[in-house]
Structure 1
Amino acid sequence: MLDNIEADFPEYAPRRPGAPKALDGIRVVDFSHFIAGPFATMILADMGAEVIKIEAPGPGDDLRRYPPVHPDLKHGAPFVWTNRNKRSVALDLKMPEGVAVARDLIATADVVVENFSTGVMERFGLDYEACRKIRPDIIYCSVSAYGREGAFADRLGFDPIAQVESGFVSMNGYADREGVRALSPVMDISTAMMACNAILGALVARERSGLGQAIEVSLFDSAVLMTGYATMQHLFSGANPQRHGNTSPDTCPSGVFRAQDCTFYINCGNDKIFQRLMAQVIDRADLAEAEIYATGPDRIRRRDELFAILGEAFARQPWSYWQARMRVAGVPCGQVRTVGEAIRSPEARERGIVTRIPHEKLGWIPNVTLPIRYSGTPIVDPVAAPAVGQHTESVLRELLGYDDSRLGRLASAGVFGADAARRPRQDAKV
């Protein structure tokens, strides 16, 4: 596991010394788990916010157990992907003493994020109304399945459920079978980005007005947005989108073709691209100028014959030949890759998307960076996801001024978990 990391990926290049951080001085107390909430707070952490992740003692965030789990880390790749640059504090929120510690942390925070089932934070006494009494200008972000109010507030939801109920799945796949879900948690990721955007907007608003506010972001709302302009097309036409596999219902020729050695995708988004494809790539200027292929609707009606012409041409040469010609001609195209091929591609290496970062137990661990490039406030240097409760003692000492006596009483009471009650805690440094 991770045997080839040094050969496959370069070492992360640190940010320039002394560069400011976009969210320096912002503190986030993060009660979220799984993907949508934690990915949102990881973006904030990458921008320089201090993110304190509150976890249940022992097992912690359920995402820790998603495979493959590294035996030395006691958590898996999905957790590593969404929890870098955070400090973990283990608190039993079912105990009044645990809630009291959480309230003390919230009193120092700018932002609270949670994605429990509706009603859980209220039962803990940590809902928005309770938190604004602790910190009147708090920004409180709730991420839920169907919203915190209304007839569906009690419903649980995960990414695949949002995909099917939003209509997203009905659009994807082939016409002769059921729609297909995206294996990537696209709704969790889009919801996380929406939550992060909302928090950033609320921080700007608070800077101007001095007022905090509650934010609500739902998985279902985000999933409907992710159906793209198909929603508006339906409202205009009354028709539901049909499944077209790898072809496009709006442009032609757009789809997958086969060179001598591999498959690739072309996207002819307008007439000019089609003309360049025919005249400059496959040397068929006659087809570029043909009246029957003059417009997008004309080409869509003749999709089968166009695909046959292109398929026959592309089969004569390898991908390297066609890629070079299409790049010169300005025809958008890309090789159909596996995930492993994509992250090791020249494009990924050029952009520094996947690197390796130091880890005290493993030596190195992979890191997938954000697609954000700040010129003035570069994202922070990545620190690997923490163990459950790794920073409990250091956070409570540094932020709250808890002394040995108070920490000892809380540990003995089991607030930090059974293991913490049995032995002294040694915090690893971030």
Structure 2
Amino acid sequence: MSNLNPSLPLAGVRVLDLSRVLAGPWCGMVLGDLGAEVIKVEHPKRGDDTRDWGLRIGSTETAYFNSVNRNKRSVSLDLQTAEGQQIARDLAQKSDVVIQNFKFGGMEKLGLGYEQLKQNHEDLIYCSISGYDRTGPEAARPGYDLVVQGEAGLMALNGEAGQPPLKFGIAAVDMFTGMYSAQAILAALFERQRTGKGHHIEMALFDCGLMITSYCGVEALIAGEDTPRYGNAHPSIVPYGVFDAADGPLVITVGNNNQFARFCREVIERPDLAEDDRFQTNIGRAANRAVLVPEIDREIGRRERRSLLDRLTQAGIPCGEVLGLHEALTSKRAHDAGLVTTHPHPEVGSTQVLAPPWRFDGARLPVRSAPPRLGEGTDDVLQTLLGLSGEQLSRLKADGVI
């Protein structure tokens, strides 16, 4: 296959990605970024749902789809046909990992459930992603990121005090579920080297959504009530958040008592605040934030951002500008790090693809192939892996199977 690289960590691992939308495809992309060969199965006409979401790129891609499907091949296959199901079973038998997020029981109806596939493939690693616990009463409920953000308490901890619950700007539950799923698959691959056996990994959006409440969740359990919301401020560290300089916002993160003393003396020139008994410790500053923060806001607001950033840096206090999304993506920092790559596209000339975040031995893992057009790898994959002839492929296309 054209996008394989034998030097990457997961070279030689084949993944059959039967998932769609975000959590499952994100998991598959992580494995693909690490070097696995990822075969993404999609409906021949509709493709993944996200091929119809957001800004269009060519005739079959969108920004949403492209954000989670780099380093994959697309095979178009109608799983509602008997022949399509058999082809998928044959591909699964030649794969190390299967990822699916069909409705509960849906894969079993297609003959593609874990118990069905593992009979002739004991070392298969099979990852099922659902909305809720597959052993509980809500197993059949569909899972959606926004619903789970509400049910897991994430919306309740996000946003400003006194304002309605607020979702994250991205589908955080889907993305974390995809990353947790990839971690579990990597652990199963590692264990398989010792035991020769596979696993059925079961992941739920709700479980992952609850996990990412993190320290806020633990504090809510200890307090016996919801934790307060602080917007861009930190619930435990003061001053720590977004502040408005005279010419724009910046982030200031004063992490300890020594930094606070330097901040007061060297940055805002208010040694009296550093000497005030109420503000000597972070616990004291947090307890008295209603008094302290307005004083800091006043001092920050009458200074220009560049001057503040220079002073903060000299004082050894972490800080930064608040950039727009496009500013961040096109910044010198992003360019120098190689985080945005450009690839040829047969319809629109070129397309931009974000690069994987990992570096191994100093080198960023490559984008081996841009997100695929719908079905672009069908003929190659089915000929190479399953030995189908040109005549067979033509008949399958005529029948709408591929």
| TM-score greater than 0.5 by the shorter chain | yes
Q: SS of the residue aligned with 2:127?
A: strand
| Letter aligned with residue 268 of structure 1 | V
1:377 Cα deviation (Å)? 7.8
Between 350-359 and 29-38, report the one with greater CA deviation: 350-359
Contact kept, 8 Å, 1:89 with 1:395, in 2: the verdict is yes
Q: Residue 30 in 1 paired to residue 17 in 2?
A: yes
1:235 Cα deviation (Å)? 2.3
Q: Of 71, 79, 98, which aligns to 2:84?
A: 98
1:328-377 Cα deviation digits (max 9, x unpaired): 21212222222112212233223222232222332221111222111178
Between 225-234 and 102-111, report the one with greater CA deviation: 225-234
Match of 2:132 in 1: 146
Q: SS of the residue aligned with 1:162?
A: helix
Q: SS of the residue aligned with 1:322?
A: helix
Contact kept, 8 Å, 2:256 with 2:282, in 1: the verdict is yes
Between 205-214 and 334-343, report the one with greater CA deviation: 334-343
Q: Residue 207 in 1 paired to residue 196 in 2?
A: no
Q: Of 196, 215, 221, which aligns to 2:207?
A: 221
1:311-341 Cα deviation digits (max 9, x unpaired): 2222333211111111121212222222112
Q: SS of the residue aligned with 1:239?
A: coil
Q: SS of the residue aligned with 2:263?
A: helix
Q: SS of the residue aligned with 2:371?
A: coil
1:264-296 Cα deviation digits (max 9, x unpaired): 122223222212211221222332232221112
Aligned-partner Cα distance in 1 for 2:197–2:279 = 58
Q: SS of the residue aligned with 1:364?
A: strand
1:199-244 Cα deviation digits (max 9, x unpaired): 1110000011111110011111110011111121122222321212
Q: Of 225, 237, 242, which aligns to 1:239?
A: 225
Q: Residue 180 in 1 paired to residue 176 in 2?
A: no
- Normalized against structure 1, the TM-score is what? 0.89
Aligned-partner Cα distance in 1 for 2:375–2:350 = 22
For 1:188-337, what aligned pairs fall within 5 Å after superposition? 188-337=174-323
Match of 1:340 in 2: 326
Contact kept, 8 Å, 1:179 with 1:243, in 2: the verdict is no
Match of 1:7 in 2: none
Q: Of 38, 44, 53, which aligns to 1:51?
A: 38
1:260 Cα deviation (Å)? 1.8
Q: Residue 68 in 1 paired to residue 60 in 2?
A: no
1:179 Cα deviation (Å)? 1.3
RMSD of aligned alpha carbons: 1.9
Between 374-383 and 262-271, report the one with greater CA deviation: 374-383
1:138-197 Cα deviation digits (max 9, x unpaired): 000011110322201011111111111000110111221211111211111111100110
| Letter aligned with residue 375 of structure 1 | D
Percent identity at matched positions?
39
- Normalized against structure 2, the TM-score is what? 0.95
Contact kept, 8 Å, 1:29 with 1:52, in 2: the verdict is yes
Structure 2 unaligned runs (5+)? none
Aligned-partner Cα distance in 2 for 1:261–1:135 = 63
| Letter aligned with residue 58 of structure 1 | K
Aligned-partner Cα distance in 2 for 1:134–1:90 = 25
Q: Of 37, 41, 50, which aligns to 2:28?
A: 41
1:298 Cα deviation (Å)? 1.8
Q: SS of the residue aligned with 1:21?
A: coil
Contact kept, 8 Å, 2:60 with 2:374, in 1: the verdict is no
Match of 1:361 in 2: 347
Structure 1 unaligned runs (5+)? 1-17, 417-430
Between 168-177 and 300-309, report the one with greater CA deviation: 300-309
Aligned-partner Cα distance in 1 for 2:336–2:276 = 40
Aligned-partner Cα distance in 2 for 1:405–1:257 = 66
Aligned-partner Cα distance in 1 for 2:401–2:318 = 57
1:82 Cα deviation (Å)? 0.7
1:300 Cα deviation (Å)? 2.2
Q: Residue 129 in 1 paired to residue 115 in 2?
A: yes
Match of 1:159 in 2: 145
Q: Residue 375 in 1 paired to residue 375 in 2?
A: no
- Across the two proteins, how many residue pairs are aligned to each other? 400
Between 257-266 and 217-226, report the one with greater CA deviation: 257-266
Q: SS of the residue aligned with 1:133?
A: helix
| Letter aligned with residue 263 of structure 1 | P
Q: Residue 386 in 1 paired to residue 372 in 2?
A: yes
Aligned-partner Cα distance in 2 for 1:319–1:188 = 36
Aligned-partner Cα distance in 2 for 1:106–1:19 = 22
Moved over 3 A (4+): none
1:58-101 Cα deviation digits (max 9, x unpaired): 0110010001113x233210101111111111111111111111
